[in-house]
Structure 1
Amino acid sequence: MFERFTDKARRAVVIAQEDARDRRDDEIRTEHLLMGLFGVPEAVAVTLLSGYGVDRAVVDAEIERMHRPDRPGTDAEKLAVLGIDLDEVRRQVDEAFGPGALDRTRAARARGGRPWSRHLPFHRAAKKAFELSLREALRLEHNHIGTEHILLGLLHTETGAAHHILAAHGVTLDGMRAAVADLGRGAASG
Structure 2
Amino acid sequence: MLERFTAPARRVVTETQLEMRALHHGHVGTEHLLLALLRQPAEPAAALLVRHGLDLETARAAVQRLLGESGATIDGAALETIGIDLDMVTARVEAAFGVGALANPGGAAGRGRTRTQGRGTFTTRARKVLELAVRAAQGRGDSSIGTGHLLLGMVREGGGLAVGVLRDHGLDLAEVERETERSLGADAA
Deviations 1:132-153 (A, max 9, x none): 1112222333221111111111
TM-score by length of 2: 0.75
**Counterpart secondary structure, 1:183:** helix
Partner of residue 26, structure 1: 26
Q: Is the 8 A contact 1:142 1:186 kept in 2?
A: no
Q: Is residue 2:111 matched to residue 1:109?
A: yes
Corresponding letter in the other structure for 2:32: H
When residues 74 and 111 of structure 1 are mapped into structure 2, their CA distance, relative to the original with a 3 A threshold, is farther
Q: Distance in 2 between matches of 1:179 and 1:104?
A: 44
Partner of residue 61, structure 1: 61
When residues 74 and 172 of structure 1 are mapped into structure 2, their CA distance, relative to the original with a 3 A threshold, is farther
Partner of residue 97, structure 1: none
Partner of residue 139, structure 2: 139
Q: Distance in 2 between matches of 1:171 and 1:21?
A: 27
1:128 Cα deviation (Å)?
A: 0.3
Corresponding letter in the other structure for 1:120: G
Q: Distance in 1 between matches of 2:163 and 2:113?
A: 28
1:170 Cα deviation (Å)?
A: 3.0
The match for 1:73 among 67, 72, 75 is 75
Q: Is residue 2:42 matched to residue 1:42?
A: yes
Q: Distance in 1 between matches of 2:158 and 2:181?
A: 22
Deviations 1:87-108 (A, max 9, x none): xx9xx958xxxxx988442x31
When residues 186 and 45 of structure 1 are mapped into structure 2, their CA distance, relative to the original with a 3 A threshold, is closer
Computed over aligned residues only, the root mean square deviation of the Cα atoms, in angstroms, reads 3.4
Q: Distance in 1 between matches of 2:148 and 2:58?
A: 19
Q: Distance in 2 between matches of 1:148 and 1:103?
A: 34
Q: Is the 8 A contact 1:24 1:116 kept in 2?
A: no
Corresponding letter in the other structure for 2:144: H
Q: Is the 8 A contact 2:30 2:125 kept in 1?
A: yes
Structure 1: give runs of 5+ residues left out of the alignment: 95-99
Q: Distance in 2 between matches of 1:104 and 1:47?
A: 38
Q: How many residues of Structure 1 are paired with residues of Structure 2 in the alignment?
A: 175
Q: Which is worse superposed, 13-22 or 155-164?
A: 155-164
Deviations 1:111-169 (A, max 9, x none): 22xx6933321111000001111122223332211111111111125441111111222
Seq. identity, %: 29
